[in-house]
Amino acid sequence: MSRNKSLRGKLTLVAIVVLMLVMTACGGNSKESANASEGAESSPSSSENGSSDGNAAPDSDNPNAQWALDVGLDKTETTDELYELAKKEGKVVVYSQSSRIKDVKASFEEKYPGITVEGYKMSSPEIVEKVIREQESKVWNSDVIFVKDSSGSVSNEMIKKGMVHKYLPTDIQSTMMEPFKSSSPGLVMYFSVRTIYYNNEVYDEPPITNWWDLTDPKWKGKVLVDDPIQSSDTMDLFLSFVQHADEMAEAYKEKFGKEIVLDGTDNAGYEFFKQLFANDVVLVKSSDEAVEAVGAKGQDNPPIAIAAASKLREVEEKGLKVGASWEVKPRLSVKGPAYLYVTNEAEHPNAAKLFIRWMAGEVDGTGKGFEPYNVSGSYSTRPNVVREDNVPLDQLKLWDYDSDYFYNNYVKFREFWIKSVS
């Protein structure tokens, strides 16, 4: 595979913008639908009565804050109250960055007969582009979006323009860890991290302990990564290297025993990527593709991959020979929060609220709706939800997510990346 292959022939930034402007505001029919038969025959058991205290009020600078108040996004109703209202609406439409939405759909419809979930799988950048297009055209297709911040575009565009709203019931909020409890722009179910995968049939221990190891000639043409132009998680990790260039410079000195010398780059973060490209990094379509290539049995000289830690859930199922690195200098990864929002002018706001509660795992985070996301390699925002097969959170060195920095530096890094692979 050529390192240029995945971006050869891509539209320029200007062309992409023009294309976005002329696209129609169609619905989600062309996306992968998670729809199945409506409802189930079992009756919902009575859930605990939640608090009726008010949630945090919508942001005062949100131009559509009044709509959010009108539909009660500042309230914490009981699930019984919401169910009665949601049954009258009949369905909830969800745009999801995860294909596991089909599992949430199944459990929700079993729990709440009479409410159909229409779930559509898209990448986070696709969700952002689609919702902005629909909202600007006053097309109210979706009720809930399950999305990553996509380099700050949700926080800095969609929220500030009132296209999406936070729904964070107080009974759920009170059980969350900081900073998700008090300063999050939306309800965060869990956060993900990236890691470096290696073939544990060949290597008894992680061969990479410093990010600069990837620039070593021994790994030339053998480092796989999903394209950050297509993956917001990878983009946010790479922007973290640039943001924390001082730490990258220290890691360079620790590995090579000398101060870093920049070769026409702005800082040690950009220099890292320049050297990574010089080492023929290989771009792939997804973390799945990368991990499967690393973990295939019977290899003598396998590649390594930068990919989502949550792919560990598939290792046994697919019979892969894969290990993951958890201690990489200067830090392993950046926290990647996964957000749930109610879209502005949602046609089914009560079903949306009920669905968000369900998907978040209800009050303590252990409900069935959260089960598909409570997997190895992902971390719940509820301190009581801890997986024994995860490395303890306090043992991981992670950067915090900085939506403003990512948003303000995305275009510059994107142009650098495209120029480097073209």
Domain boundaries, the chain: 31-192+336-390, 194-334+401-421
Location of structure tokens 């022939």: 9
The span from the CA of 5 to the CA of 274, in Å, is 17
| C-alpha 233, offset from chain centre | 6
The span from the CA of 379 to the CA of 183, in Å, is 18
**DSSP at 157:** I
Best CA proximity match to 44, nearest among 71, 78, 92? 78
pLDDT digits (tens, 9 = 90+) for 107-165: 999 999 999 999 999 999 999 999 999 999 999 999 999 999 999 999 999 999 999 99
Best CA proximity match to 239, nearest among 14, 417, 13? 417
Q: Give the model's pLDDT for residue 40.
A: 34
Q: Write down the CATH number for the domain with range 31-192+336-390.
A: 3.40.190.10
Helix or strand run (H / E) with residue 340? strand 336-343
Best CA proximity match to 234, nearest among 394, 6, 31? 6
Q: Give the model's pLDDT for residue 55.
A: 67
pLDDT by residue, tens only, the chain of 422 residues: 444 434 333 333 333 333 343 333 334 433 334 443 333 333 333 334 344 455 665 665 778 999 999 999 999 999 999 999 999 999 999 999 999 999 999 999 999 999 999 999 999 999 999 999 999 999 999 999 999 999 999 999 999 999 999 999 999 999 999 999 988 899 999 999 999 999 999 999 999 999 999 999 999 999 999 999 989 999 999 999 999 999 999 999 999 999 999 999 999 999 999 999 999 999 999 999 999 999 999 999 999 999 999 999 888 889 999 999 999 999 999 999 999 999 999 999 999 999 999 999 999 999 999 999 999 999 999 999 999 999 999 999 999 999 999 999 999 999 999 999 87
pLDDT digits (tens, 9 = 90+) for 50-74: 444 556 656 657 789 999 999 999 9
* Cβ count within 10 A of residue 188: 23
Same fold, 31-192+336-390 and 194-334+401-421: yes
3-state secondary structure 288-305: HHHHHHHHCCCCCCCCEE
The sign of the CA dihedral 136, 140, 143, 147 is negative
**DSSP at 284:** E
> What phi, psi does 166 have (nearest 5°)?
-80, 135
| C-alpha 117, offset from chain centre | 21
The span from the CA of 107 to the CA of 95, in Å, is 17
Tokens representing residue 254 in the block: 């620790």
* Burial class of residue 45 in the structure, from the number of CB atoms within 10 Å of its CB (0-12 exposed, 13-18 middle, 19+ buried): exposed
Q: Give the model's pLDDT for residue 149.
A: 95
Q: Write down the CATH number for the domain with range 194-334+401-421.
A: 3.40.190.10
Q: Give the model's pLDDT for residue 57.
A: 58
Task: Give me the amino acid identity at 102.
Answer: K
Integer-rounded Cα radius of gyration of the chain: 22
